[in-house]
Amino acid sequence: MMNKFFNQISGIIQVNIKGKKPEKVLNMALSRGIYIWGVKKVNDNIEFKVRSNSIEALKNIGDESNHEIEIISKEGLPFLTQVLKRRLGFITGILIFILALYFMSAFVWFVEVSGNKYIKNEQIILTAAKYGVYQGAPKWSFSRTKVEESILKDIDSLAYVKVDIRGVKANIEVVEKVLPKSDITGPCHIVATKDGVIEEVLVLEGRANVKKEDVVVKGDILISGVIIPEVNPYFVVPELEDEEVAEEEPTLVRARGIVKAKVWYEGYGECQLISEKINITDNKVTEIFLITPWQKYKLKGDNKRNFALAEEKVTIKEVNTPIGNVGLIKIVRQEKVKNIKKYSEKEATNIAKDKAISNLNNKLKGDIKVNTIDMEVLSAPSDLILRVKVSMEVIEDIAEPEPISMEWSGKDKYN
Amino acid sequence: MDKRREAISKAMADFLEIPKDLVLDLPKVTVIGQNELYLENHKGIIEYSLNRLRVNLSRGFLEIEGKDLEISILMPEEMKIIGEISVIKYVD
């Protein structure tokens, strides 16, 4: 095995010996340590193979013993170079191709961004382009770590940037910062977000402006951030000579607190007393046609089964050829069955009510406690559709901070 | 003289239990089926044709007859012969 491999590397020459006693040449070659194989008698001559590096020694033997040595064929690696010389254009073509491929792979051809949710791709791509990572940028012209640092500096809302270059693709992986919600730090009121009846007031800071069972509308101040100093009834002012004491400036605070109120929501739902529903069954028929420019052939499928109601799905795969269109058409017919269902008035009411409540629940968000649910039938008894209105009384937090505008002036507006 | 040396070598080889092909320079022939023959310790080729091959040995020669004989490997000490072998004959 290995021997054949080395033979190929050093090159194999097949020779033909002409002369009186070719065996003599074999024996002389043997005594001089020439490796010979594939000895075969052809007519009166002997043919055999030797390695190309021992051909000179063999020629000497031939001269000494008066035998004619003729080279029949050459094979192996050393003789391959001659073939290559003949095909110089081809070889240079391959080399140019490899070089071009190598050269082209030294550029960035695609830029991709991943990991961003709120920041737009364009912004990141533009910023990266500013620091040298753009389509067509040579890879040696930028340093990955520097680009990463620069992008991080430029886009504040990024926490991490990784520029990964794989072949001709630059993948920019980013992680966005999760910023805390901007909180109001200055003085503010707590106002109502909805109309309702106050159920519970808990003041953490500020002055309560409403009490239980007060009716408020949207925008009303529930907890005021303006505290007007009051005179302590238990604190006896010694003398009222100095009047400036009474006219103390009100202080502004950031009001905090929880205000829960009864709020009403209305939802609407309906249900048809007689409903038609179309269901898809498992029965289906598949037909496959072969299209040729001359005719349409059916490959599969039968026409015997026809459905009263069916859904047809047609997929066409066509190729445009010079002689016309060739392709396949697949038609799948899926059977449908009509289901008719009648509801009694009670059932219909329940369905309509459920629909209305689920509609309402979609609207409601957050921590909400449902107090009572009222239902009212809107439709007349003879109607085919049963309509229902559901009103829901819930208790929810309606407090919302609103900064106090400093442009306001005058004490009368501090309420 | 030669025969005496040979006898001594043979006795030595027997006594020391050494393979005789090493001590006495005897040929070693391995035949695989009818188509392959390995020959070690040969002393050159006397005659070669497609039907007959005569190989020189230290004493006498080996005659191989057959059809389409071919020496597929030829080295100073050993050779491999392929072809349809019918007769292997020692000639003194």
Residues of chain A falling short of pLDDT 50: 409-415
A293 touches chain B (CB under 8 A): no
Contact predicate A11/A71, CB 8 Å? no
Distances (CA, A) of B56 to A23, A186, B41, B43: 12, 117, 10, 5
* Cβ contact, residue pair A39, B75, below 8 Å: no
Q: Which long-range contacts (CB under 8 A, 24 or more apart) does B36-41 make?
A: B36/B80, B36/B81, B36/B82, B37/B64, B37/B80, B37/B81, B37/B82, B37/B85, B37/B88, B38/B78, B38/B79, B38/B80, B38/B81, B39/B78, B39/B79, B39/B80, B39/B81, B40/B77, B40/B78, B41/B77, B41/B78
One-character DSSP codes across B44-66: -EEEE-SSEEEEE-SSSEEEEEE
Classify A296 in phi/psi space as left (phi over 0), alpha (psi -120 to 50) or beta. beta
DSSP secondary structure letter of residue A233:
T
β-bridge partners, A37: A49, B73
* Cβ contact, residue pair A22, B76, below 8 Å: no
Residue-level pLDDT at A415: 46
The C-alpha atoms of residue A131 and residue A151 are separated, in whole angstroms, by 8
- Which of B46, B69, B76 lies closest to A23 in CB terms? B46
A2 touches chain B (CB under 8 A): no
B38 touches chain A (CB under 8 A): no
pLDDT tens string B10-49: 888 888 888 877 777 888 999 999 999 999 999 999 999 9
Residue-level pLDDT at A61: 92
Q: Hey, what amino acid is at A330?
A: K
Query: Sheet harboring A158-166: ordered strands across?
Result: A110-114, A169-176, A158-166
Neighbours of A412 (CB within 10 A): 7
* Cβ contact, residue pair B48, A41, below 8 Å: yes
- Give B81's pLDDT tier (boundaries 50, 70, 90): very high
Contact predicate A61/A28, CB 8 Å? yes
Q: Is a pLDDT exceeding 60 seen at residue B1?
A: no
B75 touches chain A (CB under 8 A): yes
Q: Which long-range contacts (CB under 8 A, 24 or more apart) does A360-366 make?
A: A360/A265, A360/A266, A360/A267, A360/A390, A360/A392, A363/A265, A363/A267, A364/A265, A364/A394, A366/A396, A366/A397
pTM as predicted: 0.40
* Chain B residues in contact with A33 (beta carbon < 8 A): 76
Cα four-point dihedral sign A233, A239, A241, A242: negative
Residue-level pLDDT at A388: 86
Q: CB-based contacts of A301: which residues, under 8 Å, 6+ apart?
A: A285, A286, A287, A288, A331
* Cβ contact, residue pair B49, A35, below 8 Å: no
Residue-level pLDDT at B13: 82
- Which of B48, B70, B74 lies closest to A30 in CB terms? B74
Q: Measuring CA to CA, which residue among A371, A341, A373, A346 is closest to residue A358?
A: A373
* Cβ contact, residue pair B50, A41, below 8 Å: yes
Q: CB-based contacts of A344: which residues, under 8 Å, 6+ apart?
A: none
Neighbours of B69 (CB within 10 A): 22
* Cβ contact, residue pair B48, A38, below 8 Å: no
Contact predicate A262/A196, CB 8 Å? yes
The beta-strand segments (E) located in A225-309 are 226-227, 251-252, 256-272, 274-291, 296-300
